[in-house]
């Protein structure tokens, strides 16, 4: 029996085909989010990118375990389930929120606070079995504190307000960021959150720049205030993080956590290894 595991954020999806506890295929496609993509969109991408890779194993798959960004309400879960059905047919699928994936990967069967810090951000209080508290994520317009999208949005806001140091402004424009290009991507093209998070690739060239470090740390401080501090006994529990932003800026994340009085637990880039263990 084979199980196909998917861990999907707004930017990328990690797929693992597991057979008798052995990894048969591990592959990556673009990310999916039912708030921005329809069932047909999801199906089209899976058929184009994933099915050619697993076609020889397709008949062995008995279950799909999908964890995804945006899968927080029954109607959004149904968007993804329908997309999987259109791509895979009658293979049974279980669709869960990416928060449960994060909690299982980070905390195992222990109590803790699980956070996602990637393109978007989210968090939850986990009791070792279930997510028992969640401060709702409301996207990069109104929330997503500490995420790549908000870090990128904050940097662009400084750019538009002419508050960037000259060396950063010049370098930003040199790689192709200008007012009209930014507005075109934000208001006329799909997945603006992914575009905003892409700014972090530029920022990664300036990890030792004091202006950039302060900007990112302040975004993390906002995250602890808006999300983590709201959970029951938050100061007594380890705060764990999964996602590329928390992983690559872990020193700033730890610094911000300590400033707010929190204890950091595990910081990992992706939950997929933990999900493989869970489903083995």
**How far, CA to CA in Å, does 12 sit from each of 122, 127, 141?**
16, 28, 21
pTM: 0.77
SS3 state of residue 28: strand
pLDDT of residue 234: 95
List of the chain residues with pLDDT < 70: 139-143
Q: Quote the pLDDT of residue 126.
A: 96
Q: What pLDDT was estimated at residue 9?
A: 78
CATH number of 2-100+273-279: 3.30.420.40
Q: Where are the domains of the chain?
A: 2-100+273-279
Dump pLDDT digits (tens) for 151-185: 999 999 999 999 999 999 999 999 899 888 988 88
What's the pLDDT score for residue 70? 86
Q: What pLDDT, on a 0 to 100 scale, did the predictor assign at position 254?
A: 97
Sign of CA dihedral 17, 22, 24, 28: positive
Q: Please count the CA atoms within 13 angstroms of the CA of 174 that sit on its side-chain side.
A: 7
Other CB atoms within a 10 A radius of the CB of residue 273 amount to 14
């Amino acid at each position: 029996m084979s199980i196909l595991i998917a861990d999907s954020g707004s930017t990328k999806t990690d797929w693992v085909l597991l057979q008798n506890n052995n990894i048969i295929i591990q592959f990556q496609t673009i990310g999916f989010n039912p708030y921005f993509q329809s069932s047909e969109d999801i199906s089209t991408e899976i058929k184009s990118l994933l099915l050619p890779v697993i076609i020889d194993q397709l008949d062995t798959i008995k279950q799909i375990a999908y964890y995804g960004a945006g899968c927080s309400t029954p109607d959004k879960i149904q968007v993804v389930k329908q997309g999987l059905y259109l791509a895979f047919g009658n293979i049974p699928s279980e669709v869960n929120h990416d928060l449960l994936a994060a909690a299982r990967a980070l905390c195992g069967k222990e109590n803790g606070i699980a956070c996602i810090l990637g393109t978007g951000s989210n968090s939850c209080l986990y009791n070792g079995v279930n997510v028992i508290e969640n401060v709702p994520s409301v996207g990069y317009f109104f929330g997503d504190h500490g995420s790549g999208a908000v870090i990128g949005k904050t940097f662009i806001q400084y750019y538009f307000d002419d508050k960037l140091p000259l060396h950063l402004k010049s370098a930003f424009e040199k790689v192709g960021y200008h007012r009209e290009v930014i507005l075109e991507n934000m208001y006329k093209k799909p997945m603006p959150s992914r575009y905003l998070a892409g700014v972090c690739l530029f920022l990664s060239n300036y990890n030792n720049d004091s202006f950039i470090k302060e900007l990112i740390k302040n975004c993390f401080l906002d995250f602890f205030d808006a999300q983590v501090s709201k959970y029951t006994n938050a100061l007594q529990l380890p705060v764990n993080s999964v996602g590329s932003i928390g992983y690559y800026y872990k020193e700033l994340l730890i610094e911000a956590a300590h400033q707010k009085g929190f204890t950091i637990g595990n910081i990992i880039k992706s939950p997929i290894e933990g999900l493989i263990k869970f489903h083995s």
